A and B are shown apart, each in its own frame.
Chain A
Amino acid sequence: MSALLRSGWEWFIAQRWLMMVFLIIGFVLAFAIPEYNLLNKYVQLVMMYVGINIILTVSLNLVNGYMGEFSLAHAGFMAVGAYTAALLTQKVLPIAAHPWLFPLAVLMGGLVAAVLGLIVAVPSFKVRGDYLAIITLAFLMIVKSVIENIDYIGGPRGIPGIKKLTTLPWVFFWVVVTVWVVRNFVYSKYGRGVLSIREDEIASDLMSVNTRRVKFMAFMVSSFFAGIAGGLFAHLLQFISPRVFDIIKTTDVLIMVYLGGIASIGGSILGATAYTVLLELLRPSTVAAMLAWLPAMVFDPLNEYVISHLGVWRMVIMPLLLVLVMLYWPRGIMGLREFRWFVPKRDMEAHHCLNKPTGGSHDAADGR
């Protein structure tokens, strides 16, 4: 029986064309679900958060996973994208008359974030590891305080009343673009350069890799998509303030990256999905609803002392979770491995791993 399942699975993952089928089904569903209310509004909302978090995770993985740096700046790039896009839709573009300008606003948010990504890349030429982490943290704090001090964009109060322009199809579209572009990048000479920098930067340089250019590109692509996610996020939450993009937001993305596994797009998709759903399940109201069957004698004190404080505990539990994952599960769900469908056929065949009975991998063809 298990042999049958196994060979069935083998057959299944060898059918690369199915990816196109799933893609089309995905798009159809992305349009149909909100149109015909196939799922309730709350589930739709969670799906959009999942999508935004996938974009954030896949893009951060480029720097923290593939390149092996520890950047904390991601929420900063997200903020830049969010503010840029929100300002465009609220104050610049005639969005009421032309809602189709929305993707342009999101794109601009990504581009501005990418330019700032270039600036963060510069210190990475000189320093690595802890020092670079501190510099990226400083960048995050600078972004936050700059926003807080510009009255035109609401200062510490933020921008309320942003139009809800983010829809399920748009989120799905940007997820597909992110995965496709990052995957293309990873399976190119630049992506291999990024991997080699993680392994041994000097050897990489000595093997003709232009390490500076590669770092520029990695930071740019990474921050570009963080900016895109920010734009989508702003037009979903409909309210942004500097507080939304603090270190906790970065921590969330870090957990999703390391939970899913470094240097893996598939892992990032799984990590982002699992973590987002988990967070939703741990909301006080959800937990209370799930445990309502308990006798009042148990439920009431539980509710009073634990469940209603989950929001505060989150600040303790999440960083702790990050530490635990990094220490005890450094590979995460699929660190250094990849969904076979994401690996270009050319790479797969060159590694002779088409017939291997394990999940494909971009660098090590055996799936340990």
Chain B
Amino acid sequence: MTLLTAVKVKHYFGGLCAVSDFNLQLHYGDLMGIIGPNGAGKTTIFNLITGVYRASEGSIRLRNTELVGKTPHQITALRVGRTFQNIRLFRDLSVLDNVRIAHYAQADYSPLEALLHIGRYRREEQRIIENSQRLLAIFKLEHLAGETAKNLPYGLQRRLEIARALAIGPELLLLDEPAAGMNPNEIDLLMEFIQWIRTEFKLTILLIEHQMKLVMGICERITVLDFGETLVEGPPEVIQNHPKVLEAYLGEGPVG
């Protein structure tokens, strides 16, 4: 069963063509990687999927819904969660509130109930707190619930960002360079962790990563992007030795 399909997606920033011909098919439960040199358009693709930018051409479909033209919160409410290459937490808010905010679409109460704290408000708020605490506990952050997000060390901020993305209740999770700034030990842990949340939360994962160890280690399929174009797609063994890939990465060091 296909979860996400991107067909001939194109995107221009003014005159610059950041994504020229992107194609992708993602099945339920897939763990797919996107690699490519800096500026290849990987982050832009995430922004197109999540509605931050509107694709200039082409189509992106989630299940049977066209995503092009939808706003980010509409797309997110379709159970698409994401993290960011440069951490984008709500820095001045508490760890708990960071996770609680991501429950916005699920919180089932009206403005009037919110203004008067009546009706479904209490039950829903209680449920949101419990779910947030459950997520924080999974990420071993529960004792930091009241801490301001910006006071967390870098590694914990990365973790909190994933916890917040999971609070959406996603079926599709987009991870933008989750291993950035991590040492080899931490990357090993992260690899295990991604595998674990994948089964635990029944996720389909699309991840962008420069760390070949991680990509080759856990992704079942890999898409290589160069100058906004899908270069090749296939399992890690094929990608690793593909001449086109080696060429694209020339000057960036060997792959793997």
Contact = CB atoms under 8 A, between A and B. Distances in A.
Interface string B234-245: 000000000000
A207 interface: yes
B92 A208 contact: no
A134 B92 CA distance: 27
B101 A364 contact: no
B94 A208 contact: no
Contacts of B106: 208
Interface string B139-163: 0000101111000000000000000
B168 A208 contact: yes
B94 A365 contact: yes
Given A181-B115, A196-B90, A351-B145, A189 B107 contact: yes
A185 interface: yes
A350 interface: yes
B94 A189 contact: no
A217 B111 contact: yes
A210 B104 contact: yes
Contacts of B115: 181, 184-185, 188, 221
B37 interface: no
A199 B93 contact: yes
Given A185-B115, A346-B126, A346-B129, A203 B76 contact: no
B71 A364 contact: no
B81 to A, nearest CB: 9
Given A196-B90, A202-B52, A366 B148 contact: yes
A199 B101 CA distance: 12
B126 A208 contact: no
B50 A206 contact: yes
Interface string B64-80: 00000001110011000
B94 A364 contact: yes
30 contacts: A187-B117, A188-B125, A189-B101, A189-B128, A191-B114, A192-B100, A193-B101, A196-B101, A199-B92, A203-B88, A203-B89, A205-B76, A206-B52, A206-B72, A207-B164, A207-B168, A208-B77, A208-B168, A346-B126, A350-B133, A351-B145, A363-B92, A363-B93, A363-B94, A364-B94, A364-B146, A364-B147, A364-B148, A365-B94, A365-B146
Query: What 4 A-B pairs are tightest by C-beta distance, nearest first?
Result: A365-B146, A188-B114, A208-B105, A351-B146
